[in-house]
Amino acid sequence: MNSNQLPVNEYSNFNATYIKAAANVELIEELEICLHEFIRFVQNIPMDKFDYRYAEGKWTIKDIIQHVIDTERIFAYRALRISRNDTTPLPGFEENDYVENTKANERGIQDLLAEFSAVRYAALFLFKSFSEEQLKRIGTASGTVISVRAIGFIIIGHQKHHQNVFQERYL
């Protein structure tokens, strides 16, 4: 399925930004392509930038990479639950609390990228395992309606959003 074919009633206005960032791509194909693009992109960032904060209280590039990893894990878990017809409303999460409770800035960049790669491959295999019916299933997460396939496109768009933040504010 192409992201442009995703009905707007399958995601919230908040997530529309991420869906738009994943414009005109095929879900499974792009999950894999943007994995490699992200790794190449990060590997080309100068070493002195990984611990840089563009303003007081802002996250470092390492913090953001860990945030992308953590968020992808949460999104994949949501997709799994919804795909299996679990109708339990899934709670939101406070991203700042997550970032404050990691050791991202004590880790090497290759270690973070290896973890990102492992998490993405797990998500990729998960989304490949879903039937068309499962991809269309709708659940509730963070107090809003969302489909399994929308979650996949949000994973892609979230990564692309943060790549753009790197370019605009860190490099």
In this structure, what DSSP letter does residue 49 have? G
Task: Report pLDDT for 40.
Answer: 97
pLDDT band at 14 (very low <50, low <70, confident <90, very high): very high
- All domains in the chain, ordered by first residue: 3-50+59-170 (1.20.120.450)
Nearest to 151 by CA among 81, 49, 101: 81
SS3 141: strand
So what's the pLDDT on residue 20? 93
In 3D, which of 22, 45, 58, 11 has the Cα closest to residue 161?
Answer: 22
Q: Does residue 127 contact residue 152 with C-beta atoms inside 8 Å?
A: yes
Q: Report how far residue 21's alpha carbon sits from residue 112's, in angstroms, rounded to the nearest whole number.
A: 23
Mean pLDDT of the 66-87 span: 98
Average pLDDT taken over every residue of the chain: 96
pLDDT of residue 4: 84
